[in-house]
Amino acid sequence: MESSVLRRRALAACTATVAVGALALAGLTGSASADPASQFRTATATGTGQLSPGLLKAMRRDLGLTADQARDRIGHEARAAAVAAGLKYSLGADFAGARVSGDDAALTVATTDASDAARIREAGARPVVVEHSQAELDSAKAALDRVALRRAPEGVPVWYVDVATNRVVVQAARASAADGFLAEAGVARDVVTVRRSAEQPRTFTDLRGGDAYYMNGSGRCSIGFPVKRGSSQSGFVSAGHCGTPGVSTSGYNQQAQGSFQGSTFPGRDYSWVATNTGWTPRALVNGYGNGDVTVTGSTEALEGASICRSGSTTGWHCGTVQQRNTSVTYQEGTVSGVTRTNVCAEPGDSGGSFISGSQAQGVTSGGSGNCSQGGTTYFQPVNPALQAYGLTLVTNGTPPDPTDPPTEPGGTWAAGTTYAAGDVVTYGSDSYRCLQPHQAQPGWTPPNVPALWQRA
């Protein structure tokens, strides 16, 4: 292939953050007398206590964090994501986005109605009153995406919804290119900021969920995340431009592996490969000699959250989520719905894993720059890929034998029950203490939702 392309439903852990209004009011601070850092570290111990040494090492190198600071930051971000999801639910049409900032993941939530400010503060977040709702900005960007699906806009490499500025940002080589793009889409300038950019994103398909694989014995890409389809078929998700249906794959050891079953590119940038019985899926991302990372779910990280990437060319690199719902124009066409980051990547990292803490985020799509001088990289979120192909992400909670019917391990926890902070339940052989008031939903089991429960 020419220069390489960096290219299930959501698990219960993901949907668990879509909380009822009570969750939005739970707050982030806890008791006034407790040390916040210690409190957050304890609250997220099940999610951050077993972080990969390789991931921690990369966060130290790229974000300047010690191992304890990295664990705390990931814990803060997980709690903030749960509160933000609850506020999104309760604010409804007023909601205008959420983001975190700083190592303590200070949460800012935007609204179009000033009367929502007290509710946001009560939840432990900083309110910002803005002009445009999230739905309004998403609608404007969707209009641009429809134009790009018909014809990739010349001179307009990237556009995205920017929560921080409450605008749709269009990056363009020339103002006239942006003007023509907006006019064709019928998007008003009052919701748009045009930024001059010489960026020339490219797909990186030269060729590992960090592991490498080869297409038709030649081109190389990277595995995103192992998956299951139904009760018995194993495989993995990767980038769409890495291969088309029917293309055969071999593994890092050049042994026969499987073939592409589905692929979308451009438009989106995801694919899935069904593998033969010689390959056993694991809930792991390659740590490149520093300990593999265990995948526990696919809860989406907020703008501003830390994020790390594993790929077969450059190993582990970290940065932050810049903007979600971004559109980018490659030479092959426009891809929409990707997430923009300041993590570097290089040819051969295509399709590799993006992960925040232990939560799968997406597969590497493309970008600009390199890991010597830095750059911008876009990833295709994993949940839409799982949904598109009816796949299930393999996590450390996936039953070892998928042919066995799912069974609850017993205990006092029950879906549909309303829990208050401090309530103690049992699940299996373990006890858990409730951290935030909420009504339990199917799949929100205590081990799966560290933002809501800690082991007692």
Catalytic residues: 241, 269, 350
Of 425, 93, 430, which is closest to residue 452 (Cα–Cα)? 425
Q: How far apart are CA 388 and CA 378, in angstroms?
A: 19
Which tokens hold the place of 432?
Answer: 């858990």
Report which residue type is found at 1.
M
- In angstroms, the CA 143 to CA 164 distance is 21
Residues 194, 198, 203, 204, CA torsion sign: negative
What DSSP state is assigned to residue 135?
A: H
Q: In which element (H, E) is residue 53 found? A: helix 53-63
Are residues 74 and 104 in contact, defined by beta-carbon separation less than 8 angstroms?
no
Going by C-alpha positions, the residue among 264, 358, 349 that lies closest to residue 314 is: 349
Nearest Cα residue to 306 out of 373, 366, 359: 359
Q: First vs last Cα of the chain: how many Å apart? A: 53
Q: How far apart are CA 153 and CA 158, in angstroms?
A: 10
- Using alpha carbons, select from 389, 30, 110 the residue that is nearest to residue 229: 389
Kindly provide the residue ranges of all beta strands, DSSP E only, lying in 177-277, ordered along the sequence.
Answer: 192-196, 202-203, 212-215, 219-222, 225-229, 233-238, 248-250, 256-264, 270-275
Can you give the C-alpha Rg of the chain in angstroms?
A: 21
**Rounded Cα–Cα distance for residues 304 and 317 (Å):** 16
Backbone angles phi, psi at 239, to 5 degrees: -85, 145
Edge-to-edge strand order for the sheet containing 126-129? 95-101, 106-111, 126-129
The DSSP bridge partners found for residue 270 are: 264
Q: How far apart are CA 192 and CA 327, in angstroms?
A: 14
Question: Where is 55: in which H helix or E strand?
Answer: helix 53-63
